[in-house]
Amino acid sequence: MTLDSPRADFADPGLHARGLFIGGDWLPGGGIPVTNPSTAGVLAEVPDASVEDAMRAVDAAEAAAAGWRATPPRQRAEILRRWFGLMTDHAEDLARLISLENGKALPDARGEVAYAAEFFRWYAEEAVRIPGEFRHAPSGAHHILVDHDPIGIAVLITPWNFPAAMATRKIGPALAAGCTVILKPASETPLTAYAMARLGAEAGVPPGVVNVLTTTQPGPVVSAMLADPRVRKLSFTGSTGVGRTLLAEAAKTVVSCSMELGGNAPFLVFDDADLGAALDGAMIAKMRNAGEACTAANRFYVQAGIHDAFVAGLTARMAALVVGAGTDPATQVGPMITTKAVTKIDRLVSQAVARGARVTTGGAPLPGSGYFYPPTVIENVPEDAEIAHEEIFGPVAPVYRFETEEQAIRLANSTEYGLAAYVYSGDLSRALRVGKGIETGMVAINRGLMSDPAAPFGGAKQSGLGREGGVTGILEFMEPKYFAVNF
């Protein structure tokens, strides 16, 4: 399929989205402009859902729930497998759509589509392997039988930085478990979600099993859904601040919550690391999606003996990156999502410089109509600078010097967040020891990429609750049921 084909209108930014997707129907409407961050121009308008629309989505999810729950796991798996195939078939159009509404460079967008599709393939395979348990009670009085039931209707809230992958990482396990869902994508990047819904319907997802709505009133809309006793699950990816608010809302009706929240990932490089490999990993860990990722390396701690060489190498590589419109084939770094994001990045860098940090490349917003900030490296950053403690969410690499292993672990843990960390060392025992000492849910050792649909993704401390992906991801959408049995 190409952008010129009759069935490719969902990938054409000149066309409006077909409407809210509720109960298998497209409900027309408008009100939310979708902006191309590369140009600041409006791509399309999508519907602005009301509380009443949200309740219609809950009704649709409830109407479909019994039938989907009763659908044999093999059939659910085959639908997810077909959805994976359709995403793969339409990968280039989806990548272009993501690049248009998110701004990320096409290579990043293509990588996201491939990653996103894998969640459907993985959970197509997990749908037929839902675990159970049978054993004798220790007392010998009875047998213990444990089954797993779908938890119920799930509200899924996804961010703008990975509009395809964050949706599939939630939809895949929910559908595999037998749940029906309501997806609320970020209003900055909704076109991808509507495109995915179309592909899902084509794959055979029954009406009402997946519903999608966009809104400029996320507070009232989500609160209304969480207050409905039919909704039993909330899966959220976003900031820690919003996550705390949602947890408080969900507590009112004791809704089960999975929370993938903020990050402040340390990237540790020891003197015995392979410098070239560390720089390769740093570029991936920092510049994937131009730094707009919760797993992005946020603080580079480099041991004194290799520090200067690392800064020089990172500076050269960052300075060589091509910045431009996401859809330009030559672009390696696209724009930030909004002008507000650029302002925040500039504030963090400027404050660090004012406190004695030194910029080795970049360091100021780029002119033009889009929302561009250049790849930036800063060294000699004070530990108490705001940039050392706040998630940057942009293409800025602050580098800090450390002396000892103990100091590195202390610095890595000097944050309320605990999502991801990176460790580079030629001594695997040291790398594992340091990784064990860092308070995060995930650690990458001698590699700059850790996300994998087959692995449990999630964090510690203020970075969230629960896990997505892997064998454990499907259990987030299931309730264990225990039977005490005599026979």
Q: Residue range 364-385: average pLDDT?
A: 94
Provide, rounded to the nearest whole percent, the portion of the chain with pLDDT above 90: 94
| Nearest Cα residue to 189 out of 262, 265, 116 | 116
Whole-angstrom distance, CA of residue 156 vs CA of residue 212? 9
Q: What is the pLDDT of residues 267-283, one digit of tens each?
A: 999 999 999 999 999 99
**pLDDT band at 7, cuts 50/70/90?**
very low
pLDDT in tens, 241-261: 999 999 999 999 999 999 999
Neighbours of 218 (CB within 10 A): 17
pTM comes to 0.95
To the query of whether residue 260 is one of the catalytic residues in this protein, the response is: yes
Across residues 108-136, what is the average pLDDT?
97
User: DSSP code of 208?
Assistant: T
Q: What is the mean pLDDT of residues 295-310?
A: 98
**Rounded Cα distance, 84 and 165, in Å:** 12
Distance CA 487, CA 485 (A): 7
What is the model's pLDDT at position 431? 98
* Complete DSSP assignment for 337-356: S-HHHHHHHHHHHHHHHHTT
* d(C-alpha 420, C-alpha 344), whole Å: 22
pLDDT at 11 over 70: no
Q: Say yes or no to pLDDT of 13 above 50.
A: no
Measured CA to CA, the distance from residue 484 to residue 487 in angstroms comes to 10
Of residues 253, 251, 256, 258, the one with CA closest to residue 228: 253
Contact residues for 124 (Cβ-Cβ < 8 A; gap 6+): 77, 78, 80, 81, 84, 172, 176
Active-site pick, 118, 294, 379, 476: 294
pLDDT tens, 154-172? 999 999 999 999 999 999 9
Residues 427-433, mean pLDDT to the nearest whole number? 98
| CA–CA gap between residue 291 and residue 215 (Å, rounded) | 26
Q: Does the structure show a pLDDT above 80 at 138?
A: yes
For residues 292 and 239, is the Cβ–Cβ distance under 8 A?
no
The 10 Å CB-count burial string (b at 16+, else e) for 317-341 is bbeebebbbbbeeebbbbbbbbeeb
10 has a pLDDT exceeding 60 = no
Catalytic residue among 260, 292, 379, 476: 260
For residue 40, the one-letter residue type is: A
Judged against a pLDDT cut of 70, whether residue 483 lies above it is answered with yes
37, burial (CB in 10 Å: exposed 0-12, middle 13-18, buried 19+): buried
14, pLDDT greater than 80: no
- Per-residue pLDDT band for 4 (boundaries 50, 70, 90) equals very low
Mean pLDDT across the stretch 113-117?
98
Separation CA 328–CA 334 (nearest Å): 9
pLDDT at 30: 82
Is 105 a residue whose pLDDT tops 90?
Answer: yes
Q: Say yes or no to pLDDT of 461 above 90.
A: yes
| Mean pLDDT on 399-428 | 97
Mean pLDDT score of the chain: 95
Question: Each residue of 188-237: pLDDT tens digit?
Answer: 999 999 999 999 999 999 999 999 999 999 999 999 999 999 999 999 99
Backbone angles phi, psi at 483, to 5 degrees: -115, 125
Amino acid at 299: R
Question: What are the C-alpha distances in Å from 190 to residues 17, 106, 304, 400, 402?
Answer: 9, 18, 45, 38, 43
Give the mean model confidence (pLDDT) for residues 296-318. 98
Residue 273: its pLDDT value, please? 98
User: Confidence band (pLDDT; 50, 70, 90) for 17?
Assistant: low
pLDDT of residue 32: 95
Q: Which of 71, 173, 169 is nearest to 126 (CA)?
A: 173
User: How many residues does the structure list for the chain?
Assistant: 487
Answer left, alpha or beta for residue 199, where phi above 0 means left and psi between -120 and 50 means alpha: alpha
Per-residue pLDDT at 15: 37
Buried b (16+ CB within 10 A) or exposed e, 408-417: bbebbbebeb
- For residues 29 and 18, is the Cβ–Cβ distance under 8 A? no
Longest dimension (CA), the chain: 76
Q: 10 Å Cβ neighbour count for 102?
A: 30
For residues 342 and 11, which has the higher predicted lDDT (pLDDT)? 342
Q: What amino acid occupies position 180?
A: T
- Consecutive H or E run containing 228: none
Express each pLDDT in 313-349 by its tens digit: 999 999 999 999 999 999 999 999 999 999 999 999 9
The answer to whether residue 294 is catalytic is yes
Angle formed by the axes of helices 73-89 and 91-102, nearest 10°: 70
What are the tens digits of pLDDT across the range 73-86? 999 999 999 999 99
> Which H/E stretch holds residue 420?
strand 420-424
Q: Which amino acid is at 336?
A: M
DSSP 8-state class, residue 457: B
- pLDDT at position 5 is 33
